[in-house]
Amino acid sequence: MEIKKKDIRALTKEQLREFFVKQGDKAFRGNQVYEWLWQKSAHSFEDMTNISLDTRQMLQDNFVINHIKVDQMQRSSDGTIKNAVRLHDDLIVESVLIPTATRTTACVSSQVGCSLDCKFCATARLKRMRNLNPDEIYDQVVAIDNESRLYHNRPLSNIVFMGMGEPLMNYNNVLKAIDKITSPEGLGMSPKRIVVSTSGVPKMIKKMADDEVKFKLAVSLHSAIDEVRTSIMPFNATFPLSDLREALQYWYAKTKNRITYEYVVWDGINDKRKDVDALVEFCKFAPSKVNLIEYNPIDDGEFQQANSRALDMYVDVLEANNITVTVRRSRGKDIDAACGQLANKG
Ligand code: SF4
C-alpha cells in the first residue's frame, strides 16, 4: 500500500529543525531546507543544491512539495495577466496580475469557490469546495511576482485578497500565508502593501483587530441600506449593517487603520440619492474612503453598471461631505479577469 506522504510545507521552521535532529542531523539543516521551501520557492527536493544527495533522497522518501501549477496564463491587451492555478488535488483557482503606471498588484484567491452567495459574483456560482492552504496562497503570489518581473520588469508591489473566496472564512490560513509573504524568510513584503477584502464578517473583523494585524482592510459594502444589501448579499440578513458598523468601529479604535469601502453602483439597485445619503452616513461611523468600482456583467442578468450620471452623483455627494472617493476602472475584461468575474471559465 502506498503511504501518503506529508506536505513538507505544512511544517513550521521549528518542526523542520526537530525533524532533522531526530534523523541524527543538525537542526541547522532545517533552516536550510526551510529557506529553499519559502524564500527560494523550490519546486522539488532536487533543486536544493546545498543539501547532500542522501538527505534530499531522505526528504523525497518522507515528504512531498505540493506546489501549485499555473495551468493556463492569459494576457490581456492592457497588460493584465490571469492565471488558472491547478492545485495538488486538481482543483483550480484563479489569480490576477494588475499592472498600472505606478504599481503591480496581485489579486489572489483564498478558497476554491466561495462560502457566500453574493448575487452579482461569478465565483458564488461555484460552490465552496475547500479552503486554500497557506502555501497555496503564497505560491499564487510568487507566481505573479515572477510574471511581474518577466513581463513588466518590476517586482510585485501590492497584494489584494479579492480573488475567489471570502478570506475571513479561511482566516487562519490567510494569516499564515501573510506571515510568510511579509517575513524576511519569505518575500519580505510590507504588510502595508496588503489589503484583505471582506464582504464583512463582523466577528472576524473584531478578531483581526484583536490580533493586531498590520495589513489593510477593505469591505465590499455595495449598499448601506440593509434591505438593499440583503437583496444582493443575502448573508447580510445574518450579519446586518449594525453589526458590521460596530465591528468596524472596533477595528478602527484598535488599529487606527482607515477602512476602504468597495462599492459598485448598479442600474436600478443602488443608484438613487437615498443610496448615496445612506453611504455618507455609514462613512461617518469610522474613518474611511470609498472605492467606486466599475462592474463587469457576468451575463445579461439583472446586474448592469449604472450610467455615468449616477456615478457622478456618488462622487459629488461624497466629496461634498469630505469623504475621499476614487473611481477604479476595471482591468482585464477581455480575459474575464475583472472583479467579480473569476469563475474558472478559462
Ligand atoms: S463577492 Fe466575494 S464573498 Fe461574495 S460570493 Fe463573490 S467571492 Fe464570495
Longest dimension (CA), the chain: 72
Query: Which 8-state DSSP code applies to residue 238?
Result: T
Confidence (pLDDT) at 86: 96
Round to whole Å and give the CA distance between 224 and 228.
8
Task: Tell me which residue has cell 513538507.
Answer: 8
CB distance 166 to 114 below 8 Å: yes
**17 C-alpha to center of ligand 1: Å?**
39
Confidence (pLDDT) at 138: 96
Residue 86 CA to chain centroid, in angstroms?
A: 17
Lookup: cell for 329: 476602472
Annotation marks residue 302 as catalytic: no
Residue nearest to atom 7 of ligand 1 (CA): 165
Lookup: cell for 308: 455615468
**117 C-alpha to center of ligand 1: Å?**
6
Out of 46, 94, 107, 227, the active site residue is 94
Residue 326 CA to chain centroid, in angstroms?
A: 20
State yes or no: 121 annotated in a binding site.
yes
Give the type of residue at 148: S
Burial track 160-192 (b if 16+ CB lie within 10 A, e otherwise): bbbbbbbbbbbbebbbbbbebbbeeebbebeee
Which atom number of ligand 1 is nearest to the Cα of residue 197?
2
Q: Which candidate, 344, 314, 342, 346, places its Cα nearest to that of 328?
A: 314
Average pLDDT per run of 10 along the chain, which is 346 residues long?
Answer: 79 95 95 95 94 96 94 92 95 93 94 88 80 96 96 96 93 96 94 96 97 96 97 95 98 96 95 98 97 79 87 97 89 63 55
Which atom number of ligand 1 is nearest to the Cα of residue 233?
4
Q: Which candidate, 25, 305, 16, 4, places its Cα nearest to that of 314?
A: 305
CA distances from 279 to 54, 319, 321 (A): 63, 12, 11
Tell me phi and psi for residue 279, to 5 degrees. Answer: -65, -45
State yes or no: 330 annotated in a binding site.
no
Q: Which candidate, 167, 260, 251, 252, places its Cα nearest to that of 208?
A: 251
Annotation marks residue 94 as catalytic: yes
Q: How many CB atoms lie within 10 A of CB 48?
A: 18
Give the type of residue at 328: R
Round to whole Å and give the CA distance between 73 and 83.
5
Determine the 3-state secondary structure of 274 from DSSP: helix
**What is the dihedral angle through the alpha carbons of 329, 334, 339, 345, rounded to the nearest 10 degrees?**
180
**342 C-alpha to center of ligand 1: Å?**
10
